[in-house]
Chain A
Amino acid sequence: MLTVVVFLPLLACAVLLPVRRRLHDRAYSWAWIATSAADLALVIVLWAGLDAGGGLQYEQRARWIPGAGVSYHVGVDGLSLPLVALTCLLFLAVAVYSLRERRRIRSYVCLFLFLQTVCLGLFVALDLILFFVFFDLSIVGMFFVIAGWGHGEQGRAAALKFFLYTFIGSLALLLGFIGLYLAAFPHTFDMVELARADPLAGRGTYAALVLLAIGAGLAVKTPTVPFHTWLPPAHTDAPAAGSAILAGVLLKMGTYGFVRIAMPLLPAGWRAHALVFIVVGVVSVVYGALVALAQTNFKRMIAYTSVNHMGYVILAVGAAGVLAGTDVQARSLAVTGAVTQMVSHGLLTGALFLLTGALHDRGGTYEMDAYSGLASPTPKLAAATAVAAFASLGIPGFSGFVAEFQVFTGSLASQAVATAIALTGIVITAALFLRALRRMFLGPVRLPPAVGGEFRDLAATESFSIVPLLGLSLLIGIAPRFLLDVIEPAGRTLVELVAR
């Protein structure tokens, strides 16, 4: 079942490729939407059948390269299923949004279908090498999206930077995986077996080096300060759909790696060095927010708020590794908050990036100074952006609040100072979003000189892709139980694994 979910998009791509010359461009886009919708439906079935307290489910294991200790092992639990669902939803939203795309639509659709398989595969992988394969392929896929459909020559440079940077990270990750593999007897890359055996228990320096390699690799992808410098150019020069996937799904690969690999497989190392992650998280929160405040480019600003939001996740997972002065409940609250934050950030930033894409389609620029008073010609665009911005800064009633509330409550017990500093991040994000909204949507109407004549409001395809994301965020904000019931048991299991 999981294999079907993962490879369905790739299968669709394989079916679509041979008939490339005969189909109309539109047919391609609709085939993509149908595939994504079918995949999402399958995931909803999986969700309905999930026993939240039952650990890993829908497991499938097949021999792949037994000689090297590699197997095809997939499964989901409360940590990964929300991200799988988020991936399917975001890809569907992007598919709807991309009905407006005109450039080389065939390769575009195939590339995104390929990316969807890769992203889903990563979140269900229970083998380190399988994880790594998908991790690397996501970089390759996104490279071509940015290079092929980004903004001209600059886009290519950004794509190259993105590729080199994250590829270095992935290789550090590989070294860490090899370290884990060699420490276990018999040698294996299987995450479940490694978590059970805990091969690095009591091996101080070796475990620290492995954690350093894995932590650095994941930190690049997340990204956290100081490894975040690839992110702003990649986002600024990527097409809107690419940005939404990059921020909504690909960044989660880093944070998901922390809860799936670094914490359960290296519990002793994680506890010993949790403070490092807490500090990195807090610095990312504050630094990301401050730099975002200084931006004049709307898309770049949102890119930096991603650094800020991912900082909360790192803070929470770090706090979950500190045993002193806290109890299981607080720590599992922190982990639950971290996973909720991943989902929430995916929804909201995905929506925000699609909105900036809509803005760029009309005005031809992301510069905030070029726009003013957009609320009167484009009320829908203004309303959607305002809702997304408020939700993103953590206003109660939306998913961001649920997530950040849990993160702070869970971290406060042991890390009062760090949490207090991180709280300032919320204040700064609130300031920068409000300022951006005021500059662009209120005041006298002023449009970029490139716009000739009318400045259209959101079209149907844009509304249909963006509004459901915001709606779901609202639903999680008001009635979060359906999500938390799935995450909480898995979070508790993870906390127990870390504490052993």
Chain B
Amino acid sequence: MNENLTALVPEIALLAAAVIGLLAGSWLPRRRQWIIAALAAAACVTGMIATAFTMAEGREQTVFSDAFAVDTATDAGRLTVLGALLLVGAMSVERMRHHRREAEYYVLLLLTGAGTLAMIGANDLLMLFAGYLLAGVPAYALAGFAKDAAGTEAALKYYLMGALLGTVMLAGIATTYGAGHATLYGELRTALPSAAYGLVATGLVALLAGVLFKIGGVPAHFWVPDVTDGAMAPVAAYVTTLPKIGGLIAAYRLLHQALPTSEVNWPLLLAVLAALSMTLGNLAAFFQTSVKRLLAYSTISQVGYLLMAVAVATRSDLAQRGLLFYLAAYALTNLGAFAVVTELPDARTLDDYRGLARHRPGLAAVLVICLLGLVGTPPTGVFLGKLQVFSAAIDGGYTWLAALAVTNTVASLFYYLRWLAPVFWSTAGDTPADAAGRWSAAVAYVAGAGSLALGIAGGAALPLTTGPLLP
């Protein structure tokens, strides 16, 4: 049995930093709590360097009885998650500095990040569920971290939905185990084709329930707008970005590795879910006036586009590349938009952004890049991701889905422009909004520039996303 711990450096780094941070945070005076934040950042950077080593030296492997796979998808996912975690941490600095529970905040962030990483590499149903819990429970606490009414409601909603759908997922794992007599994906692949159809189908649907909750896809999306609106802006950025990366890669791996030859027509199921997510997310976003709610619904529709790649996981060679690249581009772009929201804590509605271009031209530029990026305007990263995903969908025989996605993209333009329009149309009376500080502004610039760079220099990043999944 391969028990090579060096393959798990990123996960271990996050967990170790979390434990040390929790212990040290109890003793450090409040003005020195920033050390924990620095520790968290160091853990993320360590993880990224370790991942880069793994990629450069081709040390793909499966560890612990194949329960955890370190392969192309894991590496790309790790880089995205750790980079996104770093950005989320950086945009929280102003909000958290000298906060009574500063250390706890970063510890929770590290723990849920570790859980997300565990989901990405999970090659076994039980490992997947462990990752689900580890990513979920700290996130519930984060949602209510501000201890205000909206945050508490958000946390409760998040927790209840998570607990309910987590139980359903557990039932799905039990059913699948009953059908295939195994929890390892590799063994399920050989066992499931001969198992009873009903059992496999029921198990899969229940499993997907948990995943859909994580990624905030229809019909498990009800928590997304409330949590995004109720939680603090950096936390909202977190819950709309990182769990999606974990959940989507986990779903891709599960379907691609455990059910490639199953009789269950899961591609169609996923395609329908993708269609519903993108359409409902878009329709609900149309007339939102709160920027956070608008972004929340926009992330639901983005999940729809991402699910297209999962739907054709085994039907097109372009699917994996599209999914991994789109995830990275989406993470950067979405975080950029949320960083602007964090930077302007008093601007809660679309109207509050009136005249931003005059007072803060840099932030306005980031907002243009990120929102048009989310639409899929070239040359941003999301455009390239969409191109890949649409190509994969057509290649996999779902032309109708690609056409629907294009229609939805056009429709989405409407609400993104509703936000962008006031940014440029200043009237005499508007006053500049208060700024949070340098850190969140810096994150906004970095994310905006990154989103653009990923589109222009996509040729360098794409090869990192191609490579076989390990059984």
Interface residues of A, Cβ cutoff 8 Å to B: 63-68, 70, 129, 132-133, 136-137, 140, 144, 147-148, 156, 160, 163-164, 167-168, 171-172, 174-175, 178-179, 181-182
Contacts and interface: CB of A to CB of B under 8 A. Distances in A.
Given A148-B424, A167-B410, A171-B409, 13 more contacts: A64-B459, A65-B384, A65-B462, A67-B321, A67-B462, A137-B377, A137-B378, A147-B421, A160-B421, A163-B417, A164-B410, A171-B406, A178-B394
Nearest to A132: B378
Interface stretch (B17-25, B143-151, B187-195, B385-393): B385-393
A174 B387 contact: yes
B377 A68 contact: no
Contacts of B378: 129, 132-133, 136-137
Contacts of B391: 178, 181-182
Interface string B401-433: 011001001100110010001001100000000
A494 to B, nearest CB: 27
A67 B461 CA distance: 9
Contacts of A174: 387, 390, 406
Contact of B413 (A68, A148, A156, A167): A167
A144 B387 CA distance: 25
Contacts of B462: 65-68
Given A65-B384, A68-B384, A68-B388, A156 B406 contact: no
B417 A160 contact: yes
Contacts of B417: 160, 163-164
B459 A66 contact: yes
Nearest to A171: B406
Contact of B387 (A63, A68, A163, A172): A68
A309 to B, nearest CB: 28
A182 B394 contact: yes
A175 B424 contact: no
Contacts, number: 73
Nearest to A65: B459
Nearest to B317: A187
Nearest to A71: B459
Nearest to B358: A104
A478 to B, nearest CB: 42
B219 interface: no
Interface string B307-321: 000000000000001
Nearest to B466: A67
A-B pairs, 3 with minimum CB distance: A67-B462, A65-B459, A133-B378
B458 interface: yes
B364 to A, nearest CB: 11
B421 A67 contact: no
A156 B425 contact: yes
Nearest to B391: A178
Contacts of B383: 133
A174 B386 CA distance: 11
B394 A65 contact: no
A133 B379 contact: yes
A145 to B, nearest CB: 12
A140 B458 CA distance: 21
B402 A175 contact: yes
A168 B394 contact: no
A178 B377 CA distance: 16
Nearest to B409: A171
Contact of A175 (B377, B403, B425, B463): B403
A208 to B, nearest CB: 14
A156 B422 CA distance: 11
24 contacts: A63-B459, A64-B459, A65-B459, A68-B388, A68-B458, A68-B462, A136-B377, A140-B372, A144-B424, A147-B424, A156-B421, A156-B425, A164-B410, A164-B414, A164-B417, A167-B410, A171-B406, A174-B390, A175-B390, A175-B406, A178-B387, A179-B394, A181-B391, A182-B394
B153 interface: no
A416 B372 CA distance: 47
B395 interface: yes
A129 B421 contact: no
Contacts of B459: 63-68, 70
B140 to A, nearest CB: 39
Contact of B463 (A67, A136, A156, A168): A67
A174 B388 CA distance: 12
A220 B421 CA distance: 23
B394 A164 contact: no
A477 B414 CA distance: 45
Interface centre among B383, B391, B458, B463 (most CB of A within 10 A): B391
Contacts of B403: 175
B459 to A, nearest CB: 4
A258 to B, nearest CB: 21
Contacts of A132: 378
B413 A178 contact: no
Contacts of B425: 147, 156
B443 to A, nearest CB: 22
A100 B402 CA distance: 47
A278 B285 CA distance: 41
A209 to B, nearest CB: 9
Contacts of B395: 182
B59 to A, nearest CB: 22
B409 A129 contact: no
A266 B440 CA distance: 50
B73 to A, nearest CB: 16
A454 B17 CA distance: 78
A147 B377 CA distance: 18
Most chain B CB neighbours (cut-off 10 Å) among A137, A163, A174: A174
Contacts of A144: 424
A168 B402 contact: no
A172 B390 CA distance: 12
A73 B317 CA distance: 25
A174 B378 CA distance: 11
Nearest to B414: A164
A336 B466 CA distance: 46
Nearest to B458: A65
A242 to B, nearest CB: 15
Nearest to B403: A175
Contacts of A160: 417, 421
By CB atoms of chain B within 10 A, which of A137, A148, A156, A171 has the most? Answer: A171
